[in-house]
Every structure is written in C-alpha cells, then in structure tokens.
Amino acid sequence: MILLDGKKTSADLKLEIAEAVKEIKSKGKKTPHLAAILVGTDGASMTYVNAKVKACELVGFNSTLIDLPEETSEETLLQEIEQLNNNIDIDGFIVQLPLPKHIDEQKVLMAVNPDKDVDGFHPTNVGRMTLDLPSFLPATPFGILELLERYKVQTSGQHVVVIGRSHIVGRPMSILMSQKRPAGDATVTVAHSRTKNLKELTLQADIIVAALGIPEFLTGDMVKDGATIIDVGITRVDDASKKRGYRLAGDVHFDSVAPKSAFITPVPGGVGPMTIAMLMKNTLLACERKG
C-alpha cells in the first residue's frame, strides 16, 4: 500500500508556483491576485477560505477576502461579483460554497466572468472542459489528476468507479478521467444514491473515487485487492476526545480498505490540500493568460 500524499505533493506544487511568481515579479509583471467571497460563518467554510488565503501568502500572490453576513441578499452578492468582474487587479475569484439557502447558487455561479472563474464552475468552463478545450478545471478533480499523474498510477484502460455525481467533484471527475489526457483514458462508471448493487460495481473497479459525502461509507469488503482509492469525503464527526471536539472522516473506511489497496489517499492530508494547490495553479494561469 502506497499513500498518495496530498500534503507533500501540494507543498511541492506550491513551491513550483512560488518560483513562477518570483519570475513574474522579476520581470516587473503584475502579481497574481485571488479573491474569495464567503457568505456566512460556517465553521468548515471559514477553515477552507482561510487556508486559501494562507496559501496565497505562501506562493506570493495577493489575496482579498470578502466576508459577507449570512443574511446577505442575492442581489448584494451579485453586485459584489460584478465588482470583482470589473476590477482589473483581480485575476481570479471564487464564491465559497455552500451558499445560504435563500441564494440561488446557479445564478451566482453564472454571474462570474468565465475568464476569472478559477473554480471552473461557470457553464462556459464546464462546456469547454467537456469539449477538451482550454478551460479552468475544477480544483478538486484537477488535484486528483495531478496526484495520479505524479505517483504514476496507471489510468489508461482502467475501470474507474466514481461514487457521487456532484457538479463540483463526481461529474467533472468522470468526464476528465474518460478523456484522452494524462491520468485519463479510463473506462468510467458513475454511481450515485440510486445505483443498484453498488458493491458489485466497486468490486470490479481498478480505481474508486469516493465523493458521496457519507463518512466511512466505502469498506474493505467493497474493494478488490490492488485497487487504487481516492477519498474525496471530508466530514466533521463529533468526537469529545479531540481538542476541537470533532475529527475529520473521509468517505472511505481507511482501516479496512487500506490493506487491500495499491494506492490510497488519506484524510486529512490527501485530496483537500491538493484542491488548494490547484486553485493557486488556476489563479497563476488566469494571471498569465491576461498577459
């Protein structure tokens, strides 16, 4: 069993990005600038957004955090987005999800200028990705591709079972891995909450991407020997014995699955840190693309 070390790989990536930023600055060009909009005070969302700001500092980007109260109207949020769209100093920005229930997520994502959409969630970028055209790839799937590539996990011709069909992970993951590209050329099955006989499918999988958001759902009996396991889940589970009062659980029951797997991502320290590194990568690309 080989751990796919997202923490180490993301640190490597951020060093590479920091080098590129130094180069940009030495040529007197503009420093990359990422902005993030956070609506409300959800604990996990605040953790992730703060991690993004910290990563910006590390690689030498400028960053702006726009913190809005939970009760912010959809109209006000759309106005904030319009300001970022028009601000020439901002290369890319994200609107942290999930949004409060009174705000229409689709409407918000469609308001982001696709050229600044470093999350890759705008329909234009989703369409471009699907058609193999240059686009911003959504950070989590992009990070998984990067991990598979750097660890030389064979994907060509392999059967990948993606569990979960979300717009931010499962669906794009399934599209990307079926494409002709590094970490692609796979045969992909998308499973979800209505799938019959899921275990029958996962037992056939060479690679399983667990992205359904149910802690420790995938257990050792559902996995064939030598499979590669990508755990996208990250849920805070109450645990009084922990300092913070919770522990982080993936969608994979690590202790039963790891002994059977060829490669496996841990939680924490797997896909999560890669997501942040790829957001930095997309912001660098956005800045370079503007020239």
Q: Per CB under 6 A, does 272 bind ligand GUE?
A: yes
Smallest distance from ligand GUE to CB 8, Å: 11
- For 50, the token pair is 């703060």
DSSP output for 102-118? TS-HHHHHHHS-GGGBT
Do residues 17 and 31 touch, judged by C-beta distance below 8 A? no
Smallest distance from ligand GUE to CB 94, Å: 4
The residue range among 23-31, 82-90, 94-102, 186-194 that interacts with ligand GUE, by the rule CB under 6 A, is 94-102
Q: Per CB under 6 A, does 268 bind ligand GUE?
A: yes
Could you give the CA distance from residue 289 to residue 283 in angstroms, rounded to a whole number? 10
Smallest distance from ligand GUE to CB 267, Å: 6
270 is in an annotated binding site: no
Q: Per CB under 6 A, does 284 bind ligand GUE?
A: no
Picking from 38, 36, 40, 31, the residue whose alpha carbon sits closest to that of residue 52 is: 36
Could you give the CA distance from residue 196 to residue 201 in angstroms, rounded to a whole number? 9
The torsion defined by the Cα of 35, 131, 179 and 198, in degrees rounded to 10, comes to 80
Residues between 133 and 192 with contacts to ligand GUE, criterion CB under 6 A: 139
Beta strands 33-39; 207-210: pairing state: unpaired
Q: Per CB under 6 A, does 48 bind ligand GUE?
A: yes
Residues involved in catalysis: 52, 96, 119
Q: Per CB under 6 A, does 234 bind ligand GUE?
A: yes
234 is in an annotated binding site: yes
Smallest distance from ligand GUE to CB 52, Å: 8
261 is in an annotated binding site: no
Residue 232: CA count within 13 A, CB half-sphere? 24
Q: Per CB under 6 A, does 275 bind ligand GUE?
A: yes
- CA Rg value for the chain: 19
Cβ proximity to ligand GUE: between 153 and 234 the closer is 234
Residues in contact with ligand GUE by CB under 6 A are 47-48, 51, 94-97, 119, 139, 234, 248, 267-269, 272-273, 275-276
Annotated binding-site ranges for NADP(+): 164-166, 234
